[in-house]
């Protein structure tokens, strides 16, 4: 396929490179001038979109997505697919999809899970919203960039799935960190706690696959001084998107709100910025009872 790729950052560049490595004709653009292996550089977003079968975007937020969509939609050929892999608010995803469809294009919102490592290895998971016809065109590309793509329903549902998943992740990581800090103060050995919880009703991805305690469980950022696999400020962004969606949908999410408030405090007032989101554990280690 002829593919345009807009947004060649830490995630976009390796995704674009994997598509080029699979012998697709990939042209890329990034406002910062970044490049990707095997990808032809273009001077503008509009030039990337011209003649492309699929235009992929990987952008920081919904406002930038809307702006880029306004630029590229008029340049795209009828029947082409606008495939957004950013994590943005549901309303922006649906607005861009509506604009694309009105212009005779197909649209997909397909945020990813798997981080920079997954983007480099081609093992991302895609949560996809949009029409069946668009998903069928893009599915071979998902197979190159990732290991799994789940079609979640109509436009916006990919973003909905991502923010619901990450609301669970943020809340479970916080309580996992709280539990380790409590175990320390109860003189319960961390390894013993892990051995029990990881095989009992308290098990979770945060405990079993991404344990926030150094030296416990599989390798995780905790074993690398909490250098980010998933930065705390990105978790804060996703929790903010979840709370925006909850307000828009009139949904009651008190634990999600509490998780957002804690990550906001951690990132903006403490030492969380630039650290992994599991660095909540050393935060709780230093704190006493606040009830």
Residue with tokens 């042209």: 27
Going from the C-alpha of 163 to that of each of 13, 62, 241, 252, the distances in angstroms are 23, 14, 7, 15
Alpha carbon 83 to its chain centroid, in Å, reads 15
Note whether 207 and 51 are within 8 A (CB).
Answer: no
Whose CA is closest to 273, among 217, 234, 216, 220? 234
Residues 6+ apart with CB under 8 A from 227: 221, 275, 276
Note whether 26 and 5 are within 8 A (CB).
Answer: yes
Annotation marks residue 162 as catalytic: yes
Q: Given 2, 21, 162, 227, which residue is catalytic?
A: 162
Q: Which residues are catalytic?
A: 162
């Amino acid at each position: 396929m002829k593919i345009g790729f807009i947004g060649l950052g830490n995630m976009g560049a390796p995704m674009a490179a994997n598509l080029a490595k699979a012998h697709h004709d990939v042209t890329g653009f990034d406002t910062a001038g970044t490049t990707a292996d095997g990808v032809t550089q273009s001077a503008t977003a509009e030039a990337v979109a011209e003649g492309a079968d699929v235009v992929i975007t990987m952008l920081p937020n919904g406002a930038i997505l809307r702006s880029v969509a306004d630029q590229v939609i008029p340049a795209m050929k009828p029947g082409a697919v606008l495939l957004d892999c950013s994590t943005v608010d549901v309303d922006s995803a649906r607005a861009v999809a509506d604009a694309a469809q009105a212009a005779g294009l197909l649209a997909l919102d397909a945020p990813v899970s798997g981080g920079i490592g997954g983007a480099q290895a081609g093992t991302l998971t895609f949560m996809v919203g949009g029409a069946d016809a668009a998903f069928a065109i893009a599915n071979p590309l998902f197979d190159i960039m990732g290991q799994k793509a789940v079609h979640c329903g109509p436009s916006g549902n990919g973003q909905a799935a991502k923010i619901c998943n990450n609301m669970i992740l943020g809340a479970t990581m916080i309580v996992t960190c709280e539990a380790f800090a409590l175990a320390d103060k109860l003189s319960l050995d961390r390894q013993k706690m892990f051995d029990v919880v990881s095989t009992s009703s308290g098990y979770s991805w945060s405990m079993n696959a991404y344990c926030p305690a150094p030296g416990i469980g599989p390798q995780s950022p905790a074993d690398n001084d909490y250098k980010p696999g998933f930065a705390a400020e990105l978790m804060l962004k996703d929790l903010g998107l979840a709370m925006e969606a909850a307000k828009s949908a009139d949904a009651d999410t008190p634990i999600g709100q509490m998780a957002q408030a804690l990550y906001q405090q951690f990132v903006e007032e403490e030492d969380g910025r630039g650290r992994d989101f599991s660095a909540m554990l050393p935060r709780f280690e230093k704190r006493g009872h606040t009830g």
